[in-house]
Amino acid sequence: MGEAYAFLQKIAQIHSRAPIERHLEILYGRAEVAGLAFLSVFRDAIERSHTGLPAWKVLRRTGRALTLAQYFHATREVEGASAECGVLAGFSTLLLCRLARHLESDFRGAGLHLIDSFEGLSAPVPQDAISSLKRPGGAVEYTMSHQAGDLAAPIEHVKSVLQDYPEIDFHKGWIPEVFETLPEARWSFVHIDVDLYAPTLATLEYFYPRLSPGGVIVNDDYASPSFPGGGKAWDEFMTRHDLPFVALDTGQSVIIKA
Ligand SMILES: C[S@@+](CC[C@H](N)C(=O)[O-])C[C@H]1O[C@@H](n2cnc3c(N)ncnc32)[C@H](O)[C@@H]1O
């Protein structure tokens, strides 16, 4: 098992005995995005979407959600539509929708495109392995943190979570083929949260050339102990095109198009 993954398991045990709610209040209780009280919207989105929040993940997830909301806010004046690739139960989408409605009281989801299989992860490839073992004879055995089909949430559930935003465009299908259902458009904001190497790379290849100047792509899995492929795909794309980006302490990576 990878060292980073073992570390997570240790953290899960430690966090399970810590006063996490108090830590959250101290760290994020006064955080605002464009005047919107972040922590209460975060908690509400977690609850309404029935998103699990394991003990090891709670602080990382809160920090990542705040970052996501801040970058989304920063692109509201940039020309183009928004997309989220990797929706699961709709937690991060609901958070962004709440912020968009706070900024524009008539926001009903127009211009927001959600892309997901709604059948969970596609098949991991060797780049997604958390560890590997070379067997005598040369065969390599890969250990994955997740399998194809994990992290599935039915589209009906997500639609009910997001029922206050009836103009959202849902695109159900596998990346990259599902991109054929998207309108040919400019994009201002893209959230990549598909965990795995292949769909992360395909998403960058699709959206980066179509991103408006000043537009932003946030990758949730740049430094994820369970999903190393998300960071490998990002690095590969950025190196190939010689693009500058930032790697955040939250484990996300972000690029602003020049
Ligand atoms: C970590 S979850 C997304 C979490 C979500 N953003 C949230 O806030 O809770 C990863 C999602 O990526 C989707 N996914 C993974 N690989 C995919 C692929 N190749 N095509 C389409 N969707 C995929 C899964 O169905 C799952 O919903």
Is the pTM above the cut of 0.85? yes
Q: With 70 as the cut, is the pLDDT of residue 162 above it?
A: yes
Best CA proximity match to 68, nearest among 56, 60, 58, 80: 60
Residue 183: predicted pLDDT: 97
Distance 175 CA to ligand 1 centre (A): 10
Pocket test for ligand 1, best of 42, 44, 85, 121 (most atoms within 8 A of CB): 121
CA nearest ligand 1 atom 16, residue: 121
Residue whose pair of structure tokens reads 């958390």 in the numeric block: 130
CA triple 248-26-50, angle to 5 deg: 75
Residues 46-50, mean pLDDT to the nearest whole number: 97
The answer to whether the CB of 196 is under 6 A from ligand 1 is yes
Question: What is the atom index within ligand 1 of the atom nearest the CA of 173?
Answer: 21
Residues 187-212, mean pLDDT to the nearest whole number: 98
* Residue 220 tokens, joined: 């949730």
CATH superfamily of 3-123+151-256: Vaccinia Virus protein VP39 (3.40.50.150)
